[in-house]
Each structure stands twice: as structure tokens, then as C-alpha cells.
Structure 1
């Protein structure tokens, strides 16, 4: 769901952003959640990411402020509240696409390089594209102009532009997820060593954003459950969710995957998983039992009105996130899912045509290439929307 519509050097929302989000704005959605907005233009996830200048001295220009206000107003012109997803890729920022030199290191809580696999090609790709990250100092994390400040500045800019809230991206292997996970956080200071200390950067960020915005400004977070494969790691995840919930977070979205284990790109996400919602069962059950008032969002696999209603009625989640179908049918709620007058339950669905990657892509010896091809297809539909064209389902 990365738009890649805002190329450098300024990486601000533009007419293509307005055109694409305008189609979603009129679609009858309960909420719009933007694609990644990077809190640092020195560390991008993609070359066309919307991004905030990294240094506090680089205050947004009047033109940038106006572009953000136009984007917010367009998203919400039909009354749909819009949340900005804030992200820092950390060690998952490829070389050559950001406002940093090609040889400058990525950053992470610990110097743990990406591991795509054991083959020479996989190791070479990880080394050339990402390298071994620089272990962040405490000052780079929580000092003046550090990562916490960068998230706060991005949230403040979103607030001043008129957006209704932000979601911190703490999943999919990005920087906040790197801090939360013992696989990538080997620190023994105030930002690592225990589940609580690994969550400290997130807690400080939430509190600082709340202080810099408004009590009515929505703050959500997307968290990974991919590490919760054992009861021990599940208990760590639940301990961190308890701390996050105690900060007064407004909603939590449960997801899974990273560049090393890209579950979020899996073809299984194009299949409805049924009323039981087998996605992330341990974390969902833990949230339901331990935090019954916590608003829980689950994204991935929802394709029918009946399936969505059953998931909500069963208590499996409180909010339903829809990604890929929205790139093909930007007015899906208005035209199908919520259109009970004209579309009966048995026809209230969206079936995506299974993506068939070219043979050379399918058999390429890098797993990320094959999985990324499907993601790029849906990204291409957003680009069509940005160009004022109708998206297509192959």
C-alpha cells in the first residue's frame, strides 16, 4: 500500500497524492489510513515516500504546509477521518534512494544485518542494498533531533495540516519493530534488555506526541505478532501491549512480517480466512482477555460483507482494515460492502484475480523479488489513481 507518488528532493504530497486519495475520500470508508510517511528524509523505505525533513532546523516551507493541508482536506472532503501512518525504516532503508550518501549506513538499535537467506545471491543482496546498520546512540534515539523528536515533528505536522490522527508503524521490521523485537534489539541500556525496555522508545514517542498535539488527536500503533511463535515470545508481546495500552493509545493494529519474512506480502492475504479469523490468534485472544476495552484492528484477507460482520460480531476485532481491494475498487464500501439496498449478502464481496508473476520473476532466486512483484502490481493501481485513471484488476 505504499503509494510512491512523492519523489524527491522535497518528498511532499502533490497533485498525484490528491488525485489518488480523492478517489478513496468519496468511497464511503469509515477511516482512511495513509501509506507510510517517513519521519526522516535521510532514511526512506521507497524513493517516492512522503517524508519529513530530518533536522528540526529544516522547518517546513509555506508551500509544504499548504501541500499537506490540501492533502488532508482532500482525504476528508466527504467526512472520512484520515490517519497518517508514520514510519522509520531503520535497517530496511535501501541504499541509493534517500537524502544520504550511497555508502552511509542505515540505523538500528543493534548492528544486526538483514538475512535474506544462505545463498551467495541472497547474502550479496542484503550486503549491497542494506549493509550492516549503525547501532544508534542514546542521543540519536532520545536526544534533541533524535528519532523520538522526528516522530513528534511528523505528528505535529500532521496535526497542524488537519489530519485526525497518526498511526505509529511498529511492525513489518521497521525501526520501532526493530526496537521491540529481541531478534534485532540486543541492547542492555534503557532501550533494551527486557520487553519493557525494548518498548521504551515507543512509550516515549506516544507520550511526546500526545503532549505536542491534542487530547482529541487519535494515536494508534501497528504492532507485529510475527515473533509470537512460542508462548514465551507471546508473553513478551503481551507485556509490551500492556505498556502501550497504559499510555492511552486509541487503537492497536495487529499485523505480521518483515523484509526477512514478508508475511504481509503473502498471496494468502488475498484469501478470506473466515469468521474464525485465524490471523494472529494468540495476540488477538490475549488482547480480548487482558484489554477488553482496547480497540483492536486486524488487516488482511477480508473480502466479503458476511466475513466482516462475523469477525466483528464474534469479538475477533473492532476495526477491519482493507488494503489490496481498496487499490482495485476505491469505492468498495459505498458501491458494495455497505450498499445493502442494491447488493445482497451473497454478492457483497470482492474477489481479486490471483496475481501471476512472470516466469523469470517467479523463479528468481530471491524470495523478496517474487513476493514484491505482487505488491508492485497493487502499487501500480494507486499510481493509476494518481494519474486520474481507473485502477484495474489485471
Structure 2
């Protein structure tokens, strides 16, 4: 029987994804001058020939002054249709889509999570956030000292700041459309700026951008609305949202915000999770020892076997908003796990990250009917941690080690070198 993973998926904008397997966004750390370099394009051409239904790029920051890592590609200035800028990004888009796979650019602003020195604002320059809530890694002395060393206390955004960042998101999306990409994904997860607005823990505002779930969603809704005005109707606009940020006490607020995004006309929603303060997905996790992000009760063995980190949350979204195209990312390692999520109706698209970094053609194996289920897998061991990890916050170091390890594998892809699965070096 033909795998449901091979089914094409048509998005509301009309874009057709040839199958349900999406290469998820990962940090590449290749753009040394914060521009789409040849090395970055070389890595993405490998995924382009890998049989994916869609390719999501790593973060493209909307402001070069505020980066997630020092080597993120970013918009350096206001976009006014400069032909040289379009040509620069078109070369990247062409390589990403060289073999026919639609490429969708993840556009982002890190807000308060921008590291000191990451961006052109300088080591002591202010980060931006909806409210002046500093990063919190824990109550211990080491945790508090590390947070102060790594991040500055953010400045609460003024109305002019908000309007300026909205314009930067719109400029970036318009540039990606002009360059020939198939769409953008607005990054509203992992503790970055949009997530900071959505979350009541980091948004303490009492104006039109805070105070209620709907007002906290206004920032991203305005971004979505303004982007739609300047890109072709066939250009895809998706969004990535966290599930694990939100406790059972705020679960209904999150569902309200998702409903507003659905009403605004998004083409797909990706469910993910984690942040630097709570690195749920970014650290290595054992899918056999998970708890439900909806009710915090132990998952059944059958659910755990499906591998997906955020399965219950996605199924609840599906129940309430059945017409929404859902992508679920985090933990998929096998054909059986991916097919189970599709057949159970939890999602329409399966996002795969780390296996893609070590096996860029992973979909070719998953979709090959001559390969048995037992061989259609890519299980990965925990990435090695540095010797000094024992003195630093365990969760953060684990997340950093995982992210760094797979960024290194992407860099090997870019150089045409063989990748190395963790534990096999």
C-alpha cells in the first residue's frame, strides 16, 4: 500500500507540495557576512535533490542589528526593490529549488533572545521585547550570572519600534517573494520576538498589544496582514508556534490566538516548542519518557511510539480547526512514526530536522516501498557535550550541544563532506 507520506498537499494559496515530508528549519551558522553565501546555497541544493515535499530554511533575520546567532543571514537595510539585492537572494532561491522542491524561508526577529555581539548593535546595545522582562535561566548564582553575560536586559518596545519591526518583516517577505522563493514562515515559536508578544509571561503590556490573548496576538496579525498586501496571492505564508510554552492554565488562550491566525488566512501552521529558558525540543529527548503538553500526564506507550514531541497539542488544534493545514515537527525518526501521525489525523505535514542534517535524502528512503519499515529509520544518539558542561545549566548546554552538532553537519554538507551521526564518529 502506498505510504500516505507520498500524498501531495495543496495549501490555501494554491502552492502544491509534492509530498508530506518537510525539511524543518535548523540553524546553519554559515552566513559569515550575514548574507546568503555560496556555502549556504550548496547545503540547500543537497536537500533540493533529497526528495522533500518542502524545504524550510533556517532563520533569516529581519534586522541585521538583532540576530539569533552571529552567522544568520539577515536583511541589512530597508528593501526598496534593489535589483542587486534581489539577484543575491535569487541565487540562493534557485539553488534551494533547483530540483523542483518548494522552498519556504523562515523569517524571524529574536527579540530579547539576541545574544550579546550577535548583530550590528554592539555588545551593550539594547535588545527589543514587548516588555522589559530579562532572560531567566534559573535562580542559582551560575544561572543568573550566565544570563547577564549572554543577554542584555531588553528595552520595552515603543509604538514606533513595533511599527518598524512590522515593516522589517514585510520588507523581508517581499524580498523573498521577489527572489523567487515559494513562501515564508513567520517564526512565532522558540521564545523569539513574536512568541514573546503572544506569551503572557513575557508580554506585560496594557496597551493595544497586550493584556488579553487577542491583544497579544495583534503584533503577529498585523505582520501577517501587511505581508499579504505586498506578495502574490500564490505566495505561501505560514507560521511556526510553540506548544510547550503554554501551561494548562493558558491553554485556552493559546487556542484563541490560533483561531485568530486561522481567521487571518494563514496557509499552514507548524507546531514546535522550546526556548532558551525551556529548551524542550532543542535538547535531546527520549520519546519513550514524555508527558503530555496538554494535561501533563504520562503519555501512553502507543503515543510515545509515534515519536512526535507535540502530538497531543497538534491533535487538539486539529479538532478545533479541522481546515487548518498542520505541520508537526520534533522527534520524527522513522517511516512508522511519521505515517502514524498522518493516519491519526494529527497533522498534514511531517517536519524532520536532525535526520535531514545527517541524511539529506532521508525522504527517498522513507518513500521507497522496496525498503522495509525496519530500515526506514534514522535514530540518533545524544550529541556529545563539552567537558565544562557539568558547571553550567544542564538543559541549556544540552540544547546548545545538539544545535551546534547539527550545524556542524550542515556545514559538512555545504563542503561536500560526509556527515557523521552522533555516536558514530
- Specify which of 165, 180, 202 is matched with residue 147 of structure 1: 165
The residue that corresponds to 1:40 in the other structure is 63
- In the aligned structure 2, how far is the partner of 1:185 from the partner of 1:3? 29
The residue that corresponds to 1:366 in the other structure is 393
- In the aligned structure 2, how far is the partner of 1:378 from the partner of 1:269? 18
- In the aligned structure 1, how far is the partner of 2:309 from the partner of 2:27? 22
SS of structure 2 residue aligned to 1:326: helix
The residue that corresponds to 2:338 in the other structure is 308
Equivalent residue pairs, number: 383
- In the aligned structure 1, how far is the partner of 2:205 from the partner of 2:113? 19
- In the aligned structure 2, how far is the partner of 1:44 from the partner of 1:191? 23
SS of structure 2 residue aligned to 1:264: coil
TM value normalised by structure 2: 0.86
The structural deviation recorded for 1:281 is 4.6
- In the aligned structure 1, how far is the partner of 2:336 from the partner of 2:393? 37
- Specify which of 41, 52, 56 is matched with residue 18 of structure 1: 41
Contact preservation (8 Å) 1:223, 1:255: yes
Contact preservation (8 Å) 1:152, 1:205: yes
Contact preservation (8 Å) 2:281, 2:309: no
The structural deviation recorded for 1:390 is 2.2
The structural deviation recorded for 1:316 is 1.2
Q: Aligned in 2, Cα 1:46/1:271: closer, same or farther, shift over 3 Å? A: farther
The residue that corresponds to 2:356 in the other structure is 326
- In the aligned structure 2, how far is the partner of 1:252 from the partner of 1:62? 32
- In the aligned structure 2, how far is the partner of 1:307 from the partner of 1:99? 42
SS of structure 1 residue aligned to 2:269: strand
- Specify which of 251, 257, 261 is matched with residue 278 of structure 2: 261
The residue that corresponds to 1:165 in the other structure is 183
Contact preservation (8 Å) 1:238, 1:283: no
The structural deviation recorded for 1:309 is 1.1
Q: Aligned in 2, Cα 1:270/1:163: closer, same or farther, shift over 3 Å? A: farther
The structural deviation recorded for 1:268 is 1.2
- Following superposition of structure 1 onto structure 2, how do residues 228-307 of structure 1 map, counting pairs within 5 Å? 228-230=246-248, 232-268=249-285, 274=304, 279-307=309-337
Note the aligned Cα RMSD (angstroms): 1.8
Q: Does 1:388 align with 2:425?
A: no
- In the aligned structure 2, how far is the partner of 1:7 from the partner of 1:40? 15
- Following superposition of structure 1 onto structure 2, how do residues 86-235 of structure 1 map, counting pairs within 5 Å? 86-142=107-163, 146-230=164-248, 232-235=249-252
Q: Does 1:338 align with 2:356?
A: no
- In the aligned structure 1, how far is the partner of 2:169 from the partner of 2:87? 20
Q: Aligned in 2, Cα 1:359/1:238: closer, same or farther, shift over 3 Å? A: same
The structural deviation recorded for 1:302 is 1.0
- In the aligned structure 2, how far is the partner of 1:170 from the partner of 1:101? 25
TM value normalised by structure 1: 0.93
Residue ranges of structure 2 left out of the alignment (5+ in a row): 1-25, 290-302
Contact preservation (8 Å) 2:307, 2:332: no
Contact preservation (8 Å) 2:310, 2:330: no
- In the aligned structure 2, how far is the partner of 1:373 from the partner of 1:304? 23
Residue ranges of structure 1 left out of the alignment (5+ in a row): none
SS of structure 1 residue aligned to 2:408: helix
Q: Which string of whole-angstrom CA distances, capped at 9 and with x for unpartnered residues, describes residues 137-193 of structure 1?
A: 011102xxx111000000001000000000000000000000000000000001000
- In the aligned structure 2, how far is the partner of 1:269 from the partner of 1:17? 31
- In the aligned structure 2, how far is the partner of 1:383 from the partner of 1:347? 26
